[in-house]
Amino acid sequence: MKHKKTHLKYVCFLLLSFCCLQTSLFAQTIGGVYIDSQGMLRETKHIVDDSILMQLQKNFANQTAPQDIARPSRLRKISLSRLEALIKKATQEGDVLPPEVKYLAGMIRVESVFFYPDKNDVVIAGPAEGWKQLRSGEVVGVQSNRPVLHLDDLLVALRYAFAKQQSAPFIGCSIEPTKEGLKRYAASMKKLRGQIDSSYLPQILKQLQQSMGPQDVKLYGIPKSSHFALTMLVADYRMKRISLAHDPSPSQKVVSYLDLATSRLQPGARSPFQYRFWFLAKYNAIYHTKERTAFQFSGQGVQLMTARQGEGAPNQPAKTKKTKGKKAKGKKAKGKKAKGKKKRRKKVSKSARQFTRAFTKNFPEMAARVPVFAEMQNCIALTVVAQLMREEATTHQRWKPSFLLDKKKYAIEKFEVPRNVPSLLNDRKHYRQYMIGVSGGVKIKPEDLIAKTLQKQTKNRRLINRWKKSQQTIKKQTNWWWD
């Protein structure tokens, strides 16, 4: 039987930004992803072995919230100096920290930061509730389904902010294709010119995926085995699956980049340029009182960005080129200006721009349905808290942690994160064209998050009253958290 030839080529999107995580007997999961015993990335939704899911539930059995902490609170407060004292005592006595400490009293979001110079203390405040574990692995509020804050994420943020010498100028992650993989993929694409036998399409797509090969995972600024790092990677992974229509969009208002791009192709048109997408941490403003004792964040803290592949890689520290000889002073060398000009970024396509704008605008809805996005928000908020503490400790000699900053005295939980991961391919039928979507990541630059241009003084009575009420409570009782 002869196979029918088709003149329709497939629009192929190759996901070159991937992430995954390693579990200890499947004890650590997040975002519905885990690594099996062979080190291969798997989706927890594909688990058919009930014993694995039972193991996940068993590992969480003793992590429930005490009755008083499980009670929902519109504004719970946590004293960071008292929290440090509690952790120090437990560590020195060899005690295991209870779940309420690990999950920061069930707080699901940081809304305010209070400084109390007279008490030598810093307090974070936000809504809180009891927690549960989702099938995908996240620990979330019982009522809100929003991820709770993690102690380890706070410590990672604090250690980065107060480090004498930071390992990178930002906190971030990126998963990059190898040069060899890109060459192999380009060579494979060249062989696909002309007609394609539709019966061989599944095999062809598999070969394209294999030609790209594994990709490199890169992490910047923080421990590579931390929950914080894992959260960034999985958030990036989930965003890429949505962009390439591997997962249905959580919002009807956000159409996948794959579908947006293919819908705009015309017969005989040139293949669209390739784009990378990444999350950028960004707030609208940081409001504070006149005395700088109360701070409040404005904005969702996350924006999705895009650029053509090869332009403005978001997660690579800048490299300075060494020049030989003396610098030319006001003269042109070999027809070029001595100082040189920055290359202008080429205009982004309507499809890429529409996808990033819709994703950013509807991020609250996306985060409500994909918990790891909200978990990334929590990590960003904790980074702001840590950076504000560093700034206030430096300029106004306010409280700063000591025991919690020492990784030798208190070690955070370790997660196994692979050094490279497999590529992922998706396709669409459309007008004899091929396209490839590449790279991405997450970028959090703490100094930019609290830049002077974003800090604005406010006379907001609600914020001031919250600070005063918390001050009265902190004087009356000695617990490390209260409502």
What's the rounded Cα separation, in Å, for the pair 250 and 239?
11
What's the rounded Cα separation, in Å, for the pair 39 and 319?
33
279 HSE (CA, 13 A, CB side) = 34
pLDDT score recorded for residue 325: 46
Tokens of 90: 């437990």
Q: Tell me how far CA of residue 309 lies from CA of 266, 314, 330, 348, in angstroms.
A: 22, 11, 34, 11
Amino acid at 418: P
Run of H or E including 382: helix 371-396
Q: How, if at all, do strands 275-282 and 440-444 pair?
A: parallel
The count of residues in the chain is: 483
pLDDT score recorded for residue 397: 93
Tokens of 447: 């100094």
pLDDT score recorded for residue 276: 85
468 SS3 class: helix
pLDDT score recorded for residue 42: 58
pLDDT score recorded for residue 477: 85
CB 483 within 8 A of CB 315: no
Q: Give 436-456 as a DSSP string.
A: ----EEEEE-HHHHT-TTTEE
pLDDT score recorded for residue 40: 47
- CB-CB neighbours of 310 under 10 Å: 11
CB 457 within 8 A of CB 294: no
CB 231 within 8 A of CB 171: no
Tokens of 200: 């061989």
Q: Which of 94, 80, 224 is nearest to 149 (CA)?
A: 80
pLDDT score recorded for residue 311: 59
Residues in the chain with pLDDT < 50? 1-27, 38-40, 313, 318-338, 431-435, 437
Q: Which of 150, 264, 204, 231 is nearest to 14 (CA)?
A: 204
Q: Which of 132, 147, 130, 133 is nearest to 53 (CA)?
A: 133
